[in-house]
Chain A
C-alpha cells in the first residue's frame, strides 16, 4: 500500500515564526503536491513537484515555499507564518506525470497560527 506521512497532525505556531511541514512517501512516486483545505473552498493547490529539485507554483503560492531534495520528501515552508495561514494542509503523491493517475494523500496537518 502507498503510504504518505506528514510530520505532525496538529501544530500551533506564533505569527512571524518559520514553519516547516514535512511529507514523505514510500512508493517512489515522481509527483508530490501540497494543498490547503479551508471550509467551503475545497482543496487548493499551493505547490507541486514532478522531480527532485523541481517545483511549480500552484494556485496560491504566496507566503509559501517548498523544497524537494530527495524524491520521497517534499517540504512546505512558511517563511513568516501569518494568521491567514491557519488551515488544514494536505500532502499528496502520484506516479508519473499528473492525471489521470490518482493522488495518494497524507493524513493532513492542522496548523493554527496565533
Chain B
C-alpha cells in the first residue's frame, strides 16, 4: 500500500511568495495532521482534521497559514505571504480511530524562504 504522499519534497521561494504544500493520506484513514519540524522547536502540530473537518487549529502560527481538506484523499497547507521564519520541514501524517498513538508520516516538504 502507498504511504502518505507529500509534494513538493523541496521548495525554495522568496519572502512574500505564496507556498502551497500538498498531502495525500493513506486510503481509509480518517485523521490527517500537519506538523512543522525545526531544530529549535522540534515537531509542532499545526492543525488536524477528522473526516475532512478541522478539529484543532490552535497550532497554526498566524493568519498567513491556512489548511484545507476538500475530500478524504487530499489536503493542502498554504502560507501567504511566506517569511524566512517559516523555513522548516512540514510533515503530513494520517491515521485511523483504532490506532491511538500511531501516526503514519509522509517524507516531508522541506521549505526554504529566502
**Interaction A to B:** no
Tell me the A residues contacting B by CB distance below 8 Å.
Answer: none
Tell me the B residues contacting A by CB distance below 8 Å.
Answer: none
